[in-house]
Amino acid sequence: AQGQGLEGRKGQPGQDTELQRKLDHEIRMREGACKLLAACSQREQALEATKSLLVCNSRILSYMGELQRRKEAQVLGKTARRPSDSGPPADRSPCRGRVCISDLRIPLMWKDTEYFKNKGDLHRWAVFLLLQLGEHIEDTEMVLVDRTLTDITFQNSVLFADAGPDFELRLELYGACVEEEGALTTAPKRLATKLSSSLGRSSGRRVRASLDSAGGSGSSPILLPTLAVGGPRYHLLAHTTLTLAAVQDGFRTHDLTLTSHEENPAWLPLYGSVCCRLVAQPLCMTQPTASGTLRVQQAGELQSWAQVHGVLKGTNLFCYRRPEDTDTGEEPLFTIVISKDTRVRAGELDQAPGRPFTLSISNQYGDDKVMHTLQTESRGALQSWMEALWQLFFDMSQWKQCCDEIMKIETPAPRKPPQAVAKQGSLYHEMAIEPLDDIAAVTDILAQREGPRLETPPPWLAMFTDQPALP
């Protein structure tokens, strides 16, 4: 669960307890990642475990730093104050909002000989993005990259449910060379396979058995290096920071700061940019900020007053016939637009006994000025409506283009756990059987390999069935 922003939460024991709970959870996750990494036997598993360890470490440091900042704020007495009706605008805090980044794509810049002519060694990299907003850290799935790809694409979207208009979203791209990091862990088995295939089936099987027994006993076979303990290592390849200015309901390109070079084993030919869709939803645009009974005099109808149920939501004051119409989906009787150019003025109307408290809302459309006059039931109600309107104006000034219209945010689907790549031995190892003339066992293995893809028996199977022997 996302916590509240730093403003308005310092010195709150409940929030500190929740953050401490998150910290304890990440410490336990880190211990589990370390144990998993030590037990990994497959390269993909080790890459995922190392990624989890890096993310846990980042979250632990972030949570510890946030707890320290809160404690310092308590000592210094810098607790946030809620805005009051009479306080100056400087004391106001803008509403919080949601920030979502999706359609992440990082273009690659291969050399012509690598991509078009398909020359050189085919290397693979494992990459992922680490995203941080405040003390909250999220990550993307791990993606395997080689020279056949023109860009790195991350399918999942990342949502930060609690952000202010002054947010800074930092993106960090991490990568590890798969061959470089996984070479040691698979060297004995790859060597065994080469020896088996070059020496023939019988001799190769005995050599492989000796190598496997040596590896299983924990000792290193003759002429093979001792395996180093440790997992893959991710390197920071690039980073950038996105702010409110980058928010747009569309696809945009942003510059990346490259931190790697060609000598780095995890170096990737990055183009130097990242493409994404960054959107934000201030709460003032999605949740009602004020509601109550009003009497409204529409423009041009000086003697006509309509009693309505008013709801201030986003940049509109919706006027319904009844309060229950807001829940049934009924269309409002009329709508009063509230924009950054709208003028609001409070006043008293002595000619209306019992309802002397009014406010006027004026909008300029070209040369035409449209004004609505609203009457409230009490001075307290008038103050509440005025405060809600001034808060809305302040939120619009802080969130800027995010208040022009509601940007669509799709709730990210729960991420599925990474699936381990099934370990599949070579066909030679499965065919190394006893006795050597057991052709039925060989055909069974081949049929199992091809079975799911074939509806009819393969032609070569007739060679091993009841056919007359060749002279």
Rounded CA separation 336/34 (Å): 59
User: Tell me, what's the pLDDT at 448?
Assistant: 56
User: Tell me, what's the pLDDT at 423?
Assistant: 39
Take residue 169 and report the two structure tokens written for it.
């979203």
Rounded CA separation 353/109 (Å): 75
Query: Is residue 196 within 8 Å of residue 208, measured between CB atoms?
Result: yes
The angle at the Cα of 391, spanning 386 to 393, to the nearest 5 degrees, equals 95
Rounded CA separation 95/1 (Å): 19
H or E stretch at 373: strand 368-376
Nearest to 130 by CA among 49, 58, 200, 197: 58
User: Tell me, what's the pLDDT at 457?
Assistant: 59
Neighbouring C-beta atoms of residue 230, cutoff 10 Å = 13
Q: Does domain 94-282 have CATH number 2.60.40.1180?
A: no
Q: Does domain 287-403 have CATH number 1.10.10.10?
A: no
User: Tell me, what's the pLDDT at 191?
Assistant: 40
Q: Which residue is it, tokens 């510059």?
A: 255
Rounded CA separation 448/461 (Å): 12
Rounded CA separation 327/315 (Å): 19
User: Tell me, what's the pLDDT at 205?
Assistant: 52
User: Tell me, what's the pLDDT at 458?
Assistant: 57
Domain ranges of the chain: 1-80, 94-282, 287-403, 433-464
116: three-class secondary structure by DSSP: coil
- Beta-carbon contacts of 89 under 8 Å, excluding residues fewer than 6 positions away, are 390, 394
445: three-class secondary structure by DSSP: helix
User: Tell me, what's the pLDDT at 411?
Assistant: 80
Rounded CA separation 200/436 (Å): 13
- Beta-carbon contacts of 411 under 8 Å, excluding residues fewer than 6 positions away, are 159
Nearest to 232 by CA among 409, 459, 48, 28: 48
User: Tell me, what's the pLDDT at 300?
Assistant: 66
Rounded CA separation 133/137 (Å): 7
Q: Tens of pLDDT along the chain (471 residues)?
A: 333 333 444 446 677 889 999 999 999 999 999 999 989 888 889 999 999 999 999 999 999 999 999 999 888 875 444 444 444 445 789 999 999 999 999 999 887 655 445 555 567 899 999 999 999 999 999 999 988 899 999 998 999 999 999 999 999 999 998 864 443 344 344 444 444 444 445 444 544 454 444 444 343 333 333 333 367 899 999 999 999 999 999 999 999 999 977 777 778 999 999 999 999 999 999 999 999 999 998 766 666 789 999 999 999 999 999 999 998 889 999 999 999 999 999 876 444 555 568 999 999 988 889 999 999 988 899 999 999 999 999 999 999 999 999 999 988 777 766 554 433 333 333 344 444 445 555 455 555 555 544 455 555 555 555 555 555
Phi, psi of 346 (to 5 degrees): -95, 145
